[in-house]
Structure 1
Amino acid sequence: MVHRIIEWSLKNRFIVLVMATALFAWGIFAVKKNPIDAIPDLSENQVIVFTEWMGRGPQLIEDQITYPLVTNLQGLPKIKYVRGSSMFGMSFIYVIFNDDVDIYWARERVLERLSTVSTTLPTGVTPQLGPDGTGVGHILWYTLDAPNMDLGEQRALQDWYVKFALQNVEGVSEIASFGGFQKQYQITVDPNKLLYYRLSVPEVINAIRTNNNESGGRKFELSDIGYIIKTSGYLKSVEEIENIPVKNQNSIPIRVADVASVQMTGETRLGIFDQDGEGERVGGIVVMRYGENADAVIDKVKAKMEEVAKGLPKGVKFDIVYDRGELIKESVQSIKNTLIEEMIVVSIVVIIFLFHWRSALSIIIQIPITLAASFILLDTFGISSNIMSLTGIALAIGVIVDNGIIMSENAYKHLAERYALWEKQQKS
């Protein structure tokens, strides 16, 4: 079979050259299309289910949330195993699927199962899927450099403006905010006053909840003009909460301020984000979507940041603290320089040792064609151009050249033997 291929190639050298040129052009196209990253993604094919039930201990979370979810999710098709983790107020379920399963098909199966499992969970508890990213999806971290704003205002700016703008970038799965204070109204009930007024905590909660609402009425016409009736009852200040009536006793309203103190403060924090020892900062983490090109997504996020920066308050700007794009560019450039240097050195060595330009050319021309074919395979199997894959290609250049030298020497040996035999026949 090999002899026939060699014989056909020798007889159809033009066709072989055309096929080699087409293969090289296909490889150049694959190089431009192949996703670029610095770190190979070796994470498992998983779907994360996150459930929050604040104020409950890990054992209660394990018994009433984690265990029911794990046992019900184990019956999904094409899964390897299901892991569960319980902590204070939160439950994490990791559903690991087979490597050949499409991640979005897997997320759909998990969502289908969660729609039936949710009925067995405590009231008010709703499981939700984590972002469709991987363990190496954190491609960019940034903070807000806002010296004239307090941490609460910075976090509000991040959550209600910057986050929504950057989430629209193609290839971004999530913008995870960190740092600062999440503003909230906190109501501290005095148990002695509740006892005095014969009230309960649920009555206070229900009064506040029902007064923080907006409802609509009907439409009526007056002088051939239609009017729509609605009420706007959303709470907007501490004073409005304090004046909410909880109950009437002897025609006297008992307000929230009579049984509790109301204040604007931040949500309880478990940690802080300090940058370079210069104080707290507020920022976000850009999480890349599964299977996207990290280098392209980072460029799009930076372009969007320039657009978003125009709408920031005066004196506020972005400060990028981690950028994988720089690492990607440096890594790829380093490997690219190494490949070029190896090709030049190998070409010189082949020319010097063979000292026959046609033989050397047949070996040297294999290097770019083989490299192009390697990128075709990388693109076909969905492998990104990263440090490991490009380093493997660089190491394989020696094998490519060795194979070419062996084939050239073998051909030269047989040609020399045939030429000696021909000279002998001519003399005889």
Structure 2
Amino acid sequence: MVHKIIEWSMRNRFIVLVLSAGLFIWGLFSVQKNPIDAIPDLSENQVIVFTEWMGRSPQLIEDQVTYPLVTNLQGIPKIKYVRGSSMFGMSFIYVIFEDDVDVYWARERVMERISTISKTLPEGVAPQLGPDGTGVGHVLWYTLDAPGTDLGEQRAIQDWYVKFALQNVPGVSEIASFGGFQKQYQISIDPNKLLYYKLSVPQVIAAVRSNNNESGGRKFEMSDMGYIIKTSGYLKSLDEIANIPVKNQNGTPIKIADLATVQMTGETRLGIFDQDGEGERAGGIVVMRYGENAAEVIDRVKAKMNEVAKGLPKGVKFDIVYDRGELIKESVASIKNTLIEEMIVVSLIVFIFLFHWRSALSIIIQIPITIAASFILLNAFGISSNIMSLTGIALAIGVIVDNGIIMSENAYKHLAERYELWEKDQNKTTTL
């Protein structure tokens, strides 16, 4: 069979060259379409369900949130297993699907099941899906270099300007903010004053909620002009919160200021982000969407950062602390250098030992065609170009080169033997 293929190839050289050229061009297109990343994605095909119920103990979270969700999510088709984790005020459910299941189909199935489970959960508890990213989706970390700006302002810039702008970049699943202080209005109630005025904490909460609300109105016309009546009830300052009446006792309103201290402060933190020992900073983590090209996503995010930087306050700029794009470029450059070095070394060895430039040229041509064809298979099996796959291609070149050298040397040997026999026949014919 092999001899017939070789014989057919020798008789149809033009067809073989055309097929090789077509395979090489197809491979070049596959190289451009193949996702590039530095780290192979070995994470499981999972969907994360996150539930927040602040102030509750881990045991209560486990009994009333985690356990009901785990037991109800186990009936989803094409599922492998469900993992649950409970902590103070939060619950995490990891739904692991079969490897061949589409991640967005899996998210739809989980969302459908959650919609039926939510009625059985405690009031105010709303499970939500995590971002559609993988365990290796953190492709870029950045901080805001803002000297002279307090941490609350830095976090406000990140949450209300930078985050919304970068989330619109194609391929980005989420911008996770970290560091700084999240501003909030805080009401510190004095328990002794509550007892004195015979009030309770739920009454104070209800008063604040009812006063921080927008009421509807109506439209009416008078003198050929239309008027819209509405009430503006959203709280905008500390004084407005302090003047909220909670109860009327003997014609005297009891206000929030009579019961508590109202102040602007930051949300309680469990840690800080310190950069290079020079102080705290606020920033964000760019989480790449599932199945995207990491190199292209990073380039798009950086381009968007240049655009966003024009709207930052004076003196504030981006400081990239982790960039996987640099690792990707170094990995690809290393593989390219290895391939070029191998092609040069192999060509020299073949040329020196055989002293035949056509044999060396045939081996050099084999290497790029084979490498380009390998990317066709990478795309077919959904494998990205990363350190593992590119290293495997580099190692496989040794096998390709060995075959080329052996075949060239063997062909050269047989041709030399046949040439000697031909010379002997010619000498005999001349003698006769």
> TM-score per shorter chain, which class?
over 0.9
Number of positions where the alignment pairs a residue of Structure 1 with one of Structure 2: 428
The aligned residue for residue 250 of structure 1 is 250
The aligned residue for residue 303 of structure 2 is 303
Which runs of 5 or more structure 2 residues have no equivalent in the other structure? none
Residue 235 of structure 2 is aligned to residue 235 of structure 1: yes
SS of the residue corresponding to residue 168 of structure 2 reads: coil
Partners of 2:316 and 2:410 lie apart in 1 by 70
The aligned residue for residue 381 of structure 1 is 381
Q: Which amino acid in 2 is paired with 1:228?
A: I
Partners of 1:362 and 1:197 lie apart in 2 by 96
Q: Which amino acid in 2 is paired with 1:322?
A: Y
Q: 243-252 or 375-384: which moved more?
A: 375-384
Q: How does 1:198-217 map to 2 (within 5 A)?
A: 198-217=198-217
The aligned residue for residue 94 of structure 2 is 94
Partners of 2:54 and 2:206 lie apart in 1 by 19
Partners of 1:418 and 1:147 lie apart in 2 by 82
Q: Which amino acid in 1 is paired with 2:244?
A: I
* Post-superposition offset of 1:417: 5.4
Partners of 1:422 and 1:109 lie apart in 2 by 75
The aligned residue for residue 330 of structure 1 is 330
SS of the residue corresponding to residue 382 of structure 2 reads: coil
Q: Which amino acid in 1 is paired with 2:43?
A: S
SS of the residue corresponding to residue 404 of structure 2 reads: helix
Partners of 1:415 and 1:333 lie apart in 2 by 40
Residues 257-283 of structure 1 show CA distances to partners (whole Å, capped at 9, x for unaligned) of 112221111110000000111111010
TM-score calculated relative to the size of structure 1: 0.96
The aligned residue for residue 2 of structure 2 is 2
Residue 44 of structure 2 is aligned to residue 60 of structure 1: no
Q: How does 1:87-166 map to 2 (within 5 A)?
A: 87-166=87-166
TM-score calculated relative to the size of structure 2: 0.96
Q: Which amino acid in 1 is paired with 2:142?
A: Y
* Post-superposition offset of 1:358: 2.6
Residues 305-329 of structure 1 show CA distances to partners (whole Å, capped at 9, x for unaligned) of 1111111111111111111111111
Partners of 2:353 and 2:423 lie apart in 1 by 27
Residues 371-411 of structure 1 show CA distances to partners (whole Å, capped at 9, x for unaligned) of 11112211222211111111111111110011122223443
Residues 277-296 of structure 1 show CA distances to partners (whole Å, capped at 9, x for unaligned) of 11110101111111111111
Percent of residue pairs bearing the same amino acid type: 86
Partners of 1:425 and 1:226 lie apart in 2 by 115
Q: Which amino acid in 2 is paired with 1:94?
A: Y
Residue 213 of structure 2 is aligned to residue 194 of structure 1: no
The aligned residue for residue 13 of structure 1 is 13
Q: How does 1:65-80 map to 2 (within 5 A)?
A: 65-80=65-80
* Post-superposition offset of 1:176: 0.5
Residue 154 of structure 2 is aligned to residue 180 of structure 1: no
* Post-superposition offset of 1:425: 6.4
Q: Which amino acid in 2 is paired with 1:104?
A: Y
Q: Which amino acid in 2 is paired with 1:253?
A: P
SS of the residue corresponding to residue 95 of structure 2 reads: strand
The aligned residue for residue 226 of structure 2 is 226
Partners of 1:19 and 1:116 lie apart in 2 by 57
Q: How does 1:359-378 map to 2 (within 5 A)?
A: 359-378=359-378
Residues 316-366 of structure 1 show CA distances to partners (whole Å, capped at 9, x for unaligned) of 111111111111111211111111111111111111122222333222221
Q: How does 1:259-298 map to 2 (within 5 A)?
A: 259-298=259-298
Partners of 2:61 and 2:127 lie apart in 1 by 12
Partners of 1:255 and 1:398 lie apart in 2 by 82
RMSD of Structure 2 on Structure 1 (CA): 1.6
Q: Which amino acid in 2 is paired with 1:251?
A: G
Q: Which amino acid in 2 is paired with 1:211?
A: N
* Post-superposition offset of 1:241: 0.7
Which runs of 5 or more structure 1 residues have no equivalent in the other structure? none
